[in-house]
Structure 1
Amino acid sequence: MQAEIRRISAADTYPLRHQVLWPDKPLEYVHVPHDAEGYHFGAYRHGELVSVVSLFVQGREARFRKFATRPDQQGQGIGSALLRHLMAEAARLGAEELWCDARQEAAGFYQKFGFATEGSTFYKGTIPYVRMRCALPQPTA
């Protein structure tokens, strides 16, 4: 069974962001300053929220943040489906490029979707990250 993807609130993303990305930090740590201005998407499987991501569009550029899939649901295509959905939405909203700060261990996943690494490795705490960017396919009229 594939996941059902739908738009959700920023607050709906917080528990999964916290559980998957920063479980050792307080819940407030996973809030993004401009969450209220973003587009938030969730993938549901059997009625449960199993993957989340947040999209922020500024003109021709979009950024996604806090992409998290429950560990027991990883490797089943759910994150891939959610990323494809996010890329299509970003293009629909007028973005031509999409970027993220990716955990270095996830860079290979993003490369499968056309993302390339920009710049040097940097750290958030002890976790290495890389900036990744891709051109978005533009919707046809």
Structure 2
Amino acid sequence: MISIALIDTKHPFYPLEQELRNKILLRPIGVPDHAWEMHDEKSWHFVAVENETVIGCVVLVPLNPEQTKTQLMQMAVETNQQGKGIGKLLVNHLIAFSKSKGIKEIVCHARDNAVPFYLSLGFEIYDDPFVEVGIQHFHMRINL
């Protein structure tokens, strides 16, 4: 059974989340481990857990002091678990959490191959594509 947990950087699952992010997102494109953790302390972390193992994660970073605008970052699902709806489960949980906190907008930088995934969840593309960490990305957002 897969469950979604909201954790912080002191939680025992946090090192497992870090390893998943490094393995799935950073190492394949040559970015050093832990390079995208600069916002982790102030962020909300959602992890998908099965049998005490973190198999998916996503980070929600507040972008303004009122915490009404946020950025979805560092979405990762274990390779052998991809395509099973875990990412959708994580983002739907993140959206429900955001609504409960009065968050009005979630933005993200979606890699080219992730755009259809985010579109299917109600996000829209805005602004021009751009290159980040050597990969084409799209500005995407959802208004709640």
Question: Do they superpose with TM above 0.5?
Answer: yes
> 1:22: which partner in 2?
26
Match of 1:41 in 2: 46
Look up the SS of the partner of 2:35 in the other structure: helix
Identity %: 30
Matched, 1:80 2:88: yes
1:139 aligned residue: none
- The amino acid of 2:46's aligned partner reads F
Instruction: Answer yes or no: is 1:124 the counterpart of 2:132.
Output: yes
* Structure 1 portions without partners, runs of 5+: 137-141
Matches of 1:20 and 1:9, distance apart in 2: 20
Residue 96 of structure 1: how far off its partner (Å) = 1.3
Shift of 1:20: 0.5
Give the drift of 1:48: 1.1
Q: Deviations over 1:29-61 (max 9, x none)?
A: 132x22111111100122210001111233321
Q: Write the distance in 2 (CA, Å) between the matches of 1:74 and 1:47.
A: 18
What is the match of residue 141 of structure 2?
Answer: 133
1:75-127 Cα offsets, whole Å, 9 max, x none, are 00111101000011111111111111111110000001110001111111321
Cα-Cα RMSD? 1.4
Q: Cα distance, 1:14 vs. partner?
A: 1.3
More strand by share: 1
SS of 1:111's equivalent in the other structure is: helix
Distance 1:125 1:41 in 2: 23
- Where 2:129 maps in the other structure, the secondary structure is strand
58-67 vs 37-46, greater mean Cα deviation:
58-67
TM-score (norm 1): 0.88
Who is 2:58 aligned against? Answer: 53
Structure 2: 5+ residue stretches without partners: none
Residue 7 of structure 2 corresponds to which residue in structure 1?
8
- Alignment check: 8 A CA contact 1:55 1:90 kept: no
